[in-house]
Amino acid sequence: MKKIRDIENKYGLVLFRMSLTHLVDVGHRHLDDETVEENIRQIIAEGEADEANGVVTVMTPEFQCDILRCAAELAKFSVWSLFAYIKKHVHISI
């Protein structure tokens, strides 16, 4: 937390907030239908290759695809709506 606060202090609150928005927005904009489907195909192919080679993974390819699908659905909301929801409804223990 201190390192994040140091970055905020270094650049100032306005620039810090704009940077947070930019950070989330970059990922947000890259979650279009075409990109999501391409990533899903890659995840499934890698999962099949891992399975064929006897590699044990922590997350199944299906679970990874569900994360991507959920993120794509969330990308339909504005970044600030997501921040407001997180602030009010997502408990984060640090």
Domain-wise residue ranges, the chain? 31-94
User: Given this model, what pLDDT does residue 91 score?
Assistant: 87
Q: Give the pLDDT confidence of 49-84 residue by residue, as tens digits.
A: 998 999 888 889 999 999 999 999 898 998 889 999
Q: Which two tokens stand for residue 56?
A: 């044990």
Instruction: Give the integer Cα–Cα distance in Å for 67 and 71.
Output: 6
Asked if 12 and 71 count as a contact pair (C-beta separation under 8 A), the reply is: no
Concatenated DSSP letters for 48-63?
HHHHHTT---SS-HHH
Task: Note if the pTM is more than 0.85.
Answer: no
Instruction: Compute the Cα dihedral for 49, 52, 58, 60 and give only its sign.
Output: positive
